[in-house]
Structure 1
Amino acid sequence: MNGTLIFDGGCGFCTRSRNLLTRLDRHGRVGTVPFQEDGVEERTGLRPDQLAASVWWLDADGGRCGGAEAVNSALSAALGTRLPLLVYRLPGMGRLQEAVYRWVAANRYRFPGVTPWCQQHPAGCRPA
């Protein structure tokens, strides 16, 4: 269940969400990396436009998913329970969550957040 969440380090809402996830992760099961970090494209095999469009989850077994499934995977790992993924996989629930995720992702810069990760850690991020 361990893995890495790739998030938008230039987004205050994304950084705030990442911070909440790390607070929930009491056993260190989830790593987080901004997609702006050098080498992320090479390590993940994802194009820059894919990384910018969605959050991504890379599990310890090499699996990869994006969007709401990635959020549920990271939450499952952080909490140490598969319950978020089981709910996501209920009939119709994944489709609903993906639609909500796409809307949130498209509007993420409008939501309240914190100082974006890349402003807090500029040495770890490529310039936009």
Structure 2
Amino acid sequence: MKRSTFVYDGDCAFCTRCAEFIERRIPTGATVLPWQFADLDRLGLTETECEEAVQWVGVDGHRSAGPDAIAALLAGSGRLWRIAGAGLRFPPVRAAAWSVYRWVARNRHRMPGGTAACSLPQETRDRLYGPSTG
């Protein structure tokens, strides 16, 4: 049986901790794996996309990234998680979620469980998220 796939950055300790939380606490039928061990060609993803944000590839081939990927993961989970996923898709919440997601991605090395290895080079952060404002 084909399964949906949720892809994260396995080189980032913070991202890995979040993925472990998903696997322990969120009842989902999706495969959760680091992009470094995923068959990106089969999933239709690129390394650049995976460096930019978490990725979701549904059984139907539908793809989404960042908070949209998280919402898709939650949509196929238990009832309370589905409600949270629906909330993430609500336009004002979705817009705010993307702002928060970009901030977290830029600062993931400072998050609980994060390490210096989680930090993307400044040049990459600026390319992905825009120049730092402070």
Cα distance in 2, alignment partners of residues 95 and 8 from structure 1? 23
Q: Identity of counterpart residues, as a percentage?
A: 33
TM-score by length of 1: 0.76
Partner of 2:78: 79
Shift of 1:114: 7.3
Shift of 1:16: 0.6
Cα distance in 1, alignment partners of residues 37 and 5 from structure 2? 13
Pairs within 5 Å for 1:48-127: 48-80=47-79, 82-113=82-113
Structure 2 portions without partners, runs of 5+: 116-134
- Choose between structure 1 and 2 for higher RCO, CA contacts under 8 A separated by at least 6 residues: 1
Aligned length: 112
Shift of 1:38: 5.4
- RMSD between aligned alpha carbons? 2.1
Shift of 1:9: 0.3
Partner of 1:29: 29
Shift of 1:105: 1.1
Cα distance in 1, alignment partners of residues 65 and 101 from structure 2? 10
What SS is found at the alignment partner of 2:75?
Answer: helix
More divergent stretch after superposition (77-86 vs 8-17): 77-86
Structure 1 portions without partners, runs of 5+: 116-128
Partner of 2:17: 16
Cα distance in 2, alignment partners of residues 49 and 73 from structure 1? 20
Contact 2:70 2:85 (8 Å CA) reproduced: no
TM-score by length of 2: 0.73
Q: CA separation of 1:24/1:38 partners in 2, compared to 1, >3 Å: closer, same or farther?
A: closer
Cα distance in 1, alignment partners of residues 87 and 38 from structure 2? 34
Q: CA separation of 1:107/1:93 partners in 2, compared to 1, >3 Å: closer, same or farther?
A: same
Contact 2:71 2:89 (8 Å CA) reproduced: no
What SS is found at the alignment partner of 2:5?
Answer: strand
